[in-house]
Amino acid sequence: MNESTKEILERPLHGVYRWWGDRVFLAVAVILGISIIALGVTMAWVLFREGSMAINEFGVWGFMKGRVWDPGVNFVFGALPFLFGTLVTSIGALAIAFLPAIAIGIFIAEYAPRWLGGIIENLIHLIAAIPSVVIGIWGIFVFAPWMREKVYMPVFLWASENAPSLLPIIGTPIGYGMTTATIILALMIIPYTTALTRDAIRQVPKEQREAAYALGATKWEVIRMAVLPYARGGILSGAILSFGRAIGETMAVAMLIGNKNTFPFSIFGPAATMPSVIINEFREAVGNLHLSSLMAVGLALFVISLIVNLIAAYIIRKHSITGGQAV
């Protein structure tokens, strides 16, 4: 116990880590970290193994480009309808949700008095907390019929009188289809985009705002010149993370999209996405090739989600601003 200062200074540095608590913590952290990675790798590997039959049969590109998904008669499986459905609904949902979500985020973080901001935030949390199957039910019984009556039918009737050539593009207005699913998806990702926008805005240092105020900026000018540029990385990556959620969203979409498995789709007509086809068909999949094709779709979904998240992480890194310095 009676070490001189000299002895303490001369003790090798790694001695610091001899302490038990440190070692236990390190071990736990390493094990947990490794198991998370292992879990991801195992999942990808299982999907690949199970999907390899389909991939061997059609080839990677043949499978991804195949426009027909026919498990009933010809046993031909192509993933393009679902790839397309997923991308269109997700991009559409993000396009619809992005500006309103950012506006709400700015409003909560900058303008709303605390009580009002609190109410709005709670409402938004509430939307985020609704199980997606409940949103699906609401969509089936309320939203889709309403859209059909108020939007799809009038447009369809107008087109059939004035521009019959558009009818195939517009599609049958049954109410359940790509547009309905896209709008519902937008509704479901607004809470995420809003919350991430609000967080990004709240992280802008006070000094940045004050610098803009000191130049004689009005509140809106401060937001435009100091707040949004500083927060843009967070806002963008938030949007991309929301996009990732839209890609993976399953239940509500499966309930509302109408589930048509073959390309091409029409605007109002039924369609399908990667998650929706998996959830709708995996129980009835009897043939091995059918099951394997669903697994391959799952693998594609896994890879796409991974890429989207990596892009979001890259954007955060690229735009992150530390100590007043843009990296």
Count of residues that bind another protein according to CB under 8 A: 22
List, in order, residues 6 or more apart from 290 with CB less than 8 Å away: 71, 75, 77, 281
Neighbours of 272 (CB within 10 A): 29
| Pick 62 or 117: Cβ nearer another protein | 117
**H or E segment at 76?**
strand 76-77
Distances (CA, A) of 7 to 17, 33, 79, 89: 17, 36, 68, 67
Task: Give the contact letters, 201-220, x = binds to another protein (CB under 8 A), - = no.
Answer: ------xxxxxxxxxxxx--
C-alpha distances out from residue 284 to 47, 58, 66, 197, 297, Å:
18, 21, 21, 41, 16
82 CB-near residues (< 8 Å, 6+ apart): 69, 272, 273, 274, 276, 277, 297
Do the Cβ atoms of 302 and 43 come closer than 8 Å?
yes
> Which region, judged by CB under 8 A, interacts with another protein, from 74-82, 177-185, 225-233, 236-244?
225-233
- 236 near another protein, judged by CB under 8 A: no
Q: Is 239 an interacting residue with respect to another protein (CB under 8 A)?
A: no
Interface mask (CB under 8 A) for another protein, residues 276-295, using x and -? --------------------
Quick check: 321 binds another protein (CB under 8 A)? yes
3-state secondary structure of 322: strand
Q: Least CB distance from residue 193 to another protein, whole Å?
A: 21
| Of 56 and 218, CB closest to another protein | 218
- Minimal distance, residue 52 CB to another protein, in Å: 47
Residue 209 CB, nearest distance to another protein (Å)? Answer: 7
Phi, psi of 271 (to 5 degrees): -150, -165
Return the number of the residue (220 or 314) whose C-beta is nearest another protein. 220
Which of 147/201 has CB closer to another protein?
201
Determine if 326 is a binding residue for another protein (CB under 8 A): yes
Distance CA 304, CA 83 (A): 10
Question: By C-beta, is 245 or 319 nearer to another protein?
Answer: 319
Residue with tokens 């938004």: 124
**Residue from 120, 128, 153, 225 in contact with another protein (CB under 8 A):** 225
Of 260 and 319, nearer to another protein (C-beta) is 319
- Where along the sequence are the contacts to another protein (CB under 8 A)? 207-218, 221, 225-226, 229-230, 232, 321, 324-326
